[in-house]
Structure formats: structure tokens, C-alpha cells
Amino acid sequence: MGNTPRKYALVGLVLAMAAGAAGTAVAEEKKDWGAYKVGDKRSGYTYAAPETRAMQDDNFQNPAMLWAEAGEELWNKVDGEAGKSCASCHKTPDSMKGVAVSYPKYVAAKKGLENLEQRINRCRTENMKAKEWKYESKELLGMTVFVRHQSLGMPVNVKVDGEYAPFFEKGKAFYNQRRGQLDMACKHCHEDFAGTQIRANLLSQGQGNGFPLYRLKWSGVGSLHRRFRGCNKQVRSTPYGYGSDEYLALELYVMWRGQGLPIETPAVRN
Ligand code: HEC
Ligand code: HEC
């Protein structure tokens, strides 16, 4: 585990980026990105290939809509000892409109953050007396997609002050900290190199507004924490657990970076 291989790997990566950067058009053919661009903030949509954007734009082509439909079915399904469904209490899915924009949220009883996946699971255990759904299960992804989709087009609006402040600072520190064998921080790829090509990928700002989303590479839908784990592994650093405190703080910081961008769930990416 000497220093040398890591240095070489890093140099190789930077060279690959630089080489790719030459002559790379950053999906600029569409001049007016509308809501997908807010000030300097750009949704991953604006970096995606035209075919990928077309898949996202058309509900019949967007494979993630199957997950949304699974979520809709579960919304009405009675489960657990209390004999209730989501609909028993929340009535129509319309009641979820605008809910997603402010997650993750601070929960006093936990003295910590909770994301939408965990909020849904808390309703299952506390209000339905049903079992938690596993992270990345079709059920939890489906319901999360379905609930977030009710806020489609609404701007991300997370809180970062007051009791949120320490978590925001923790997320920010995580974002800027070098890690792994490649010794790179999130910031290096998604701030410094955003808009350049790294191997087959065009680096975006790494925004979270489209999650959970369908990735062609995954042939399925995945959560934001799955993406975090993938990005940690890319620099050969050990990923944290789904729903871990580290990733919740990171989620808050990442959502804040995209404050004002529209909820796109379910987005489609490479
Ligand atoms: C027995 C009634 C009950 C059932 C069943 C129930 N919930 Fe809830 N849910 C609540 C209550 C009460 C709240 C807290 C209301 C509030 O914060 O304004 C809540 C809050 C929520 C929130 C957070 C809303 C916000 O503004 O942040 C979400 C999301 C949610 N429920 C989703 C679900 C889903 C999905 C299901 C089904 C899997 C479900 N709930 C089942 C009673 C229920
Ligand atoms: C070595 C470069 C690299 C590093 C470091 C890196 N990522 Fe990424 N990330 C990528 C690539 C490549 C993609 C896929 C293309 C894109 O959207 O940038 C990606 C995608 C993402 C996306 C999805 C964006 C979208 O619209 O679909 C998020 C969110 C993200 N990264 C967050 C992070 C976070 C948080 C960190 C730090 C833990 C991080 N990344 C570190 C390379 C990196």
C-alpha cells in the first residue's frame, strides 16, 4: 500500500479527464434549459445524452414508471397488524404533494436527520404496525419514487439552519474531504471537473434532485445512497451503509447544493 500506485492512479484519472475534456461539448445544443438550470446549478438532466433525456421526458418510455406504479399499488394495500394502508390515513396521493422537497428532515425524537425512505418506514412500523421495507427493495424504492413524484417540478427546499446546522456542516466536511486510494473528494469530480469527460462519463454536478432514478447501467432504479456508495467505491474508499448518519448528513448537503432545482423523480441517467 505504498504511495506510488495511488499517485499513478490519480495522475491517470486526471489525464483521462483532461484528454476527454478536449473538444467535449457539454450537451449545449439546448440553450434554454428552463428549470433544469437555476443560476449556476445544473441538473444531471442537462448533462445527459439526448436519448436518455427523451426516456425521462416520456412516461411511457421511462422504465422507472414501473416502480412508481408499484408504489401506487402499495399505497392502497392494507398491511400490518393495524389493518391499515397509507390511503387509510393520507387519503389520496395528492396529500404528498410538496412533501419531498424538504427531505432529509430533522426529527427531534431521533436527535438526527431522517430521509424520505426512513419516514415512510416509520409510518409502516409506528402507524401500520407493519415490517420495515429494506433499503433498495422494490417496495421501498417504489414508494419513495411514488411519493417524490407527487412533487414533480417543485423546487428543492431543504433547511440548513437551526438544529440542521451541525448536520449540514458534517455533510459539507464529508463532501470536501479527500478519501480512498485515489485521494479524491466529491468536490474534485463534481465541482472542479463538472462538465469534463471521465472515461465514458460526462461529469455532472452530482445533484440529487432526480433520485431515486433509473440508471441504464443498473438496469433498474436506485436510491441516492446507492449512488453515494458507487461514488465512494470509484475512488476505492469504503462505502458507508444505506441510511447511515454519514450519508444522511451528506444527503442534506447534496440537496442543499441543488436548492431550487426541480424534483425530477424518477429521472433517467446512464
Ligand atoms: C395510521 C395513520 C397512518 C398510516 C397508515 C400512514 N401514515 Fe404516514 N403519517 C401519519 C401521520 C400522523 C404523519 C405525521 C403527519 C405530519 O407530520 O403532519 C405521517 C407522515 C407521513 C409522511 C411525512 C409527511 C411530511 O410532511 O413530511 C410521509 C412521507 C408519510 N407519512 C408516508 C406514508 C406512507 C407512504 C404510508 C404507507 C406506507 C403511510 N404514511 C402510512 C399517519 C399515517
Ligand atoms: C472520481 C470522480 C468522482 C468522485 C470523486 C465522486 N463522483 Fe459522483 N459521479 C461520478 C460520475 C462519473 C458520475 C456519473 C456521471 C455524473 O453524473 O457525473 C457521478 C454521479 C453522481 C451523482 C448522480 C448525479 C445525477 O444527476 O444522476 C451524484 C448524486 C454523485 N455523483 C454524488 C457524489 C458524491 C456525494 C461524492 C462524494 C462522496 C461523489 N459523487 C464523488 C464521479 C465521481
- Quick one: three-class SS letters along the chain? CCHHHHHHHHHHHHHHHHHHHCCCCCCCCCCCCHHHEECCEECHHHHCCHHHHHHHHCCCCCCCHHHHHHHHHHHCCCECCCCECHHHHHCCHHHHCCCHHHCCEEEHHHCEEECHHHHHHHHHHHHCCCCCCCCCCHHHHHHHHHHHHCCCCCECCCCCCHHHHHHHHHHHHHHHCCECCCCECHHHHHHHCCCCEECCEECCCCCCCCCCEEECCCCEEECHHHHHHHHHHHCCCCCCCCCCHHHHHHHHHHHHHCCCCECCCCCEEC
221, 259, 106, 80 alpha-carbon torsion, rounded to 10°: -30
pLDDT at 9 over 60: no
What pLDDT score does 124 carry?
A: 98
What pLDDT score does 33 carry?
A: 87
pLDDT more than 90, % of the chain: 85
Region 50-63: what's the mean pLDDT?
A: 96
pLDDT at 134 over 60: yes
pLDDT at 266 over 70: yes
- 48 with 62: CB under 8 angstroms? no
pLDDT more than 70, % of the chain: 89
All domains of the chain in start order, with CATH: 41-61+156-269 (1.10.760.10), 65-149 (1.10.760.10)
Spell out which residues line ligand 2, taking CB within 6 angstroms: 44, 184, 186, 188-190, 198, 201, 203-204, 206-208, 210, 227-228, 231-232, 234-235, 250, 254, 269
pLDDT at 84 over 60: yes
pLDDT at 19 over 80: no
Give the strand pairing for 268-269 and 213-215: parallel
Burial of 37 (0-12, 13-18, 19+ CB in 10 A): middle
Rounded-to-integer distance, Cα 232 and Cα 218, Å: 16
Return the higher-pLDDT residue of 181 and 198. 181
Rounded-to-integer distance, Cα 144 and Cα 175, Å: 24
Q: Is residue 130 in contact with ligand 1, taking CB distance under 6 Å?
A: no
Q: What is the mean pLDDT of the chain?
A: 91
Cell matching residue 92 = 389520496
Longest dimension (CA), the chain: 61
pLDDT category at 14 given cuts 50, 70, 90 is low
What pLDDT score does 24 carry?
A: 47
Q: Cite the active site residues.
A: 231
- Distance, CA 235 to ligand 2 centroid (Å)? 11
- Listed residue (266, 256, 189, 269) closest to 38, CA to CA: 256
What pLDDT score does 198 carry?
A: 83
Region 177-186: what's the mean pLDDT?
A: 97
pLDDT at 118 over 80: yes
Over the stretch 196-253, which tens digit does the pLDDT of each residue have? 998 878 999 999 999 999 999 999 999 999 999 999 999 999 999 999 999 999 999 9
Rounded-to-integer distance, Cα 84 and Cα 89, Å: 8
Q: Is residue 76 in contact with ligand 1, taking CB distance under 6 Å?
A: no
pLDDT at 28 over 60: no
Look up residue 237 and give its amino acid.
S
- 265 with 132: CB under 8 angstroms? no
What pLDDT score does 2 carry?
A: 39
What pLDDT score does 1 carry?
A: 37
What pLDDT score does 16 carry?
A: 53
- Listed residue (257, 111, 246, 115) closest to 173, CA to CA: 246
State which of 101, 123, 140, 150 you would mutate to test the pocket of ligand 1, scoring each by most atoms of that ligand within 8 A of its C-beta.
Answer: 123
